[in-house]
A and B are shown apart, each in its own frame.
Chain A
Amino acid sequence: MLFTSYEFLGFLVVLFILYYALPSRAQWPLLLAASYLFYGCADPSYLLYILATTGTTYGAARFIQKNADRQRAYLKAHKQALSREEQQAYKARQKAIRRRWLVGGLLIGLGNLAVVKYTNFVISNLNGILSALGQGEPLSFVTLAMPMGISFYTFQAVGYLVDVYRGTVTAEKNPFRVALFLAFFPQLVQGPISRYGELSQTLYAPHPFSARRVARGLQRMLWGYFKKLVIADRLLPAILVLTGDSAAYSGAYVLVGMFFYTVNLYADFTGGIDITIGIAEAMGITLPENFHRPYFSKSLKEYWRRWHMTMSFWFRDYVFYPVSTSSFMWKLTKFCRSRLGSQVGRRVPVYLSSFLVWLATGVWHGASWNFIVWGLGNFAILMISEELEPLYARFHRRFYVDGALWYKVFQVGRTFLLVSALKLFDCYACVGETFRAFGSIFTAGNWHIFWDGSLLGLGLTLTDYGVLAASTLLVVCVSLAQRAGSVRDAIHSRPYPVRFALWYALFLAVLLMGAYGIGYDASQFIYNRF
């Protein structure tokens, strides 16, 4: 069931009615049933994967928790009898046990993900090496169903397990609650990646019916559908044309494709997340925000705090910090400092951990070299701008540009271009093709396509361009308005006829201008693949 299918909308209607008709203690069990139904509809075999992850995560978390509880009780009971050293030794022993459970749980969860997602990538690379060495038969690929959303729920499971290990949350005793946390259907497909400590506050609580809350949720969903159906899906055919044949569509076409894709990905992903958060909101459940007007960022660093936030924060909290503050890293830092000087030593933990994070981010996005190069491209730019920071600061002081509006606009534009260019790796089949396509922007010189009507040959009509321009403009305006606070609240403060007219107009826009039905492929949300 895609979010944009009639079946899904019907599913939601039935669910919402049941959700508020049943006694409130049945609400979260209903959500669990609905989530498994939703997931099972995609493919029953997916349920096995998520059940395995749920089981191991629940079990490992419970063992860690029990051990921690036992440790506390033991230390309390034997406070007088044990010396400080004995207490420390006991703690260390218990911690080692908990660590084993943690590592075990992580290995199963992440191993699951790695096998379904990366086996064929590894095989294809091995084959490359084998054939380069002139060695025998190539290995054959395996057919593994890659369960929808496995990257997202595995990350939630890992986060939960680590949080229990760190003691920042208490392990859940009820396995069904863990199952719901991992499988909650709106976020199962494309995130956001929730933290147990936050989501559990509203996920299991009773939620009596509130017309205002349901309306707010539906409004957010509608806005999501607008971005997804009117902008993203309408653009998609042109992007497929442009990136499908990079030899025919080079030079200025690459630039067109780059902007189309940047707009498309934004509309697709933020639209999907709006639908997700809106569904949850209509049921009284708060999901974390995933975007904070990312294309208004003034630097790549800022962009990654505002785009796909739950993913970047996940990598920060569960990869970057643990690695950069690990004892191994500390030893390495000291070693480098003594051998190579304090300037190098200072940089070691940040650089090495960032490298790892961006490698992992790239690999997480997809099993291909494109994403790895994309991740490392981000890493390189972030580190270069970090090094250039003092230079920028001097420039800003010298020319008094800091805070000037035109300079901010320049920074936003520069970051937008940078981000768009990096996204090209998403579009083309391989790394070499991406570089060739990018290079051709500067060499092909076919700028005439912008005025000779070539753009009408991409599967978009003049009407399409009109709709796209108008709706993209609307999204930009809404984003600008959001700086002053929630647009939904601002609309809500208007008289009833005004807000009724506004929301109904948005509904009609989706109904009439949405790219759905016969003639449009039911295009998957782009982030389903990850």
Chain B
Amino acid sequence: MIRMKETKRTRSLITFFLSALIVLLTLWLLQRLLVPKYAADVVEGALVAEYYQEENKDFDVIFVGDCEVYENFSPVTLWEEYGIHSYIRGSAQQYIWQSYYLLEDTLRYHTPQVVIFNVQSMQFSQAQNEAYNRMTLEGMEWSGSKVKSILASMTEEEQFLDYVFPILRYHTRWSELTGDDVRYLFQSRPVSHNGYYMRVDVKPAENVPGGQILADYSFGERAWDYLERMVQLCQAHDIQLILIKAPSLYPYWYPEWEAQIEDFARERDLPYLNFLELTEETGIDYSTDTYDAGLHMNLSGAEKLSDYMGKILREEYGVPDRRGDPQLDRIWADNLAAYEAEQQAQYECYGMTPQQEGG
């Protein structure tokens, strides 16, 4: 009698766990299927996650910021020219608190010698768009930094639970699934070169619109707060923080903004490079070095900027030349091959010949 009861109990326990297993497994698969893969289009969404795949995360230079870093600097150039081991932790419309928490996240793996932050995102004190939040936050691995970043970023309509279980956010995508959602179900494809998003095509900058008149030019309190925290985080880890403003002509960089950043940099004794004012030094030519009429650099522009930046990093901050390290040499040889392959593919795609590069 007792035995029968026991077998019954065991059986119902087995049934329960088996059912739970089926539920969890199918839900996990469904979630994998439904989340956007960012592999074929809107690849910007895949940038943040790619960092974790890196074999050697002991980078000496880390870039954080929005498209003005991940489209404007090429770590491959920095390696080729200077042997600088660097990575760009950029993402589309990355807000400053997201940059801060991405930096915090990066410090879990290693401490770089230099961190370069692009100040364009100082203009925002509130997240503007849920889709951009998603692209920056989803790729992060779970950590306290990710939780804090989500909480700092959520717009009013967003829910934290939607980040924990993305299926809740993307449940309606079943009607728009494509072959890519199956192809990249478990494994994404690399879309960047150490965080650099490559474009080789050219669209000269003409008739760049000026800035609209703003009611208030002072940066928000929240943006300042996170900039301050970023400064302190770098100090605490003995990291040299460099502020930059990329040479993007648009969105418009107001002189009033420039003044505030200059004041701050002077007060904190931080280097600040405004590439908008350094076009002669860098050699940026807006008729050939941008692919979208001045918003972002193309490959040619990015390589010029990297060349210039590398020189400063080496000469002023003594960032070491790590060529000769067998592991790094091997890694970068692979990176370079992928870089050149994509370059080639893009030239073909846009119907250009390599000779047209830069010209």
Contact = CB atoms under 8 A, between A and B. Distances in A.
Interface of A: 6, 461, 463, 496, 500, 504, 508, 511-514, 516-519
Contacts of B130: 518
Contacts of B19: 500
Given A511-B167, A514-B171, A517-B168, 13 more contacts: A6-B159, A6-B161, A504-B22, A511-B171, A512-B171, A512-B172, A516-B168, A517-B159, A517-B162, A517-B171, A518-B158, A518-B162, A518-B169
A228 to B, nearest CB: 15
Contacts of A500: 19
B28 interface: no
B15 interface: yes
Nearest to B18: A500
A131 B298 CA distance: 69
B174 A518 contact: no
Contact of B175 (A6, A463, A504): A463
Interface string B208-240: 000000000000000000000000000000000
A518 B161 contact: no
25 contacts: A6-B161, A461-B175, A463-B175, A496-B15, A500-B19, A504-B22, A504-B23, A508-B30, A511-B167, A512-B30, A512-B171, A512-B174, A513-B171, A514-B171, A516-B168, A517-B162, A517-B168, A517-B169, A517-B171, A517-B172, A518-B130, A518-B157, A518-B158, A518-B169, A519-B172
A327 B148 CA distance: 70
A508 B167 CA distance: 11
A461 B157 CA distance: 23
A449 B174 CA distance: 28
Interface string B142-169: 0000000000000001110110000111
Contacts of A518: 130, 157-158, 162, 169
Contacts of A513: 171
Among A461, A512, A518, A519, residue most surrounded by chain B Cβ atoms (within 10 Å): A518
Nearest to B16: A211
Interface in B164-205: 167-169, 171-172, 174-175
Contacts of A6: 159, 161
Interface of B: 15, 19, 22-23, 30, 130, 157-159, 161-162, 167-169, 171-172, 174-175
A215 to B, nearest CB: 12
B161 to A, nearest CB: 5
Contacts of A496: 15
A496 B14 CA distance: 13
A125 to B, nearest CB: 37
A326 to B, nearest CB: 54
A218 B27 CA distance: 19
Contacts, number: 32
Contacts of A508: 30
Nearest to B161: A6
Nearest to B176: A463
A514 B162 CA distance: 15
A418 B162 CA distance: 43
Nearest to A462: B175
A463 B172 CA distance: 10
A514 B168 CA distance: 10
Contacts of B169: 517-518
Contacts of A512: 30, 171-172, 174
Nearest to B174: A512
A155 to B, nearest CB: 34
B164 to A, nearest CB: 10
Contacts of B23: 504
B178 to A, nearest CB: 15
A513 B168 CA distance: 11
Contacts of B167: 511
B177 to A, nearest CB: 11
B296 to A, nearest CB: 28
B262 to A, nearest CB: 39
A508 B168 CA distance: 11
A518 B168 CA distance: 9
A150 to B, nearest CB: 28
A3 to B, nearest CB: 16
Nearest to A463: B175
A511 B173 CA distance: 12
A343 B169 CA distance: 65
Nearest to A507: B23
A5 to B, nearest CB: 9
A92 B4 CA distance: 68
Contacts of B175: 461, 463
Contacts of B162: 517-518
A496 B15 CA distance: 9
A500 B19 CA distance: 8
Which of A500, A512, A514 has its CB near the most chain B CB atoms (within 10 A)?
Answer: A512
> Which are the 10 A-B pairs with shortest beta-carbon distances?
A463-B175, A6-B161, A512-B171, A512-B174, A6-B159, A500-B19, A511-B171, A518-B157, A518-B130, A517-B169
Nearest to B175: A463
A504 B22 CA distance: 10
A14 to B, nearest CB: 15
B321 to A, nearest CB: 48
Contacts of A463: 175
Nearest to B155: A518
A461 B176 CA distance: 12
Contacts of A504: 22-23
A498 to B, nearest CB: 13
A455 to B, nearest CB: 18
A438 B175 CA distance: 36
A461 B161 CA distance: 27
B134 to A, nearest CB: 9
The interface centre, meaning the residue of A463, A514, A517 with most chain B CB atoms within 10 A of its CB, is A517
A105 to B, nearest CB: 43
Contacts of A461: 175
Contacts of A511: 167-168, 171
A126 to B, nearest CB: 39
A518 B161 CA distance: 12
A266 B130 CA distance: 33
A8 to B, nearest CB: 12
Contacts of B172: 512, 517, 519
B259 to A, nearest CB: 38
A514 B30 CA distance: 15
B180 to A, nearest CB: 19
A502 to B, nearest CB: 13
A514 B171 CA distance: 8
Contacts of B174: 512
B193 to A, nearest CB: 32
A513 B167 CA distance: 12
A211 to B, nearest CB: 9
A513 B30 CA distance: 13
A512 B167 CA distance: 8
A516 B157 CA distance: 11
A488 B19 CA distance: 19
A500 B159 CA distance: 30
A513 B159 CA distance: 19
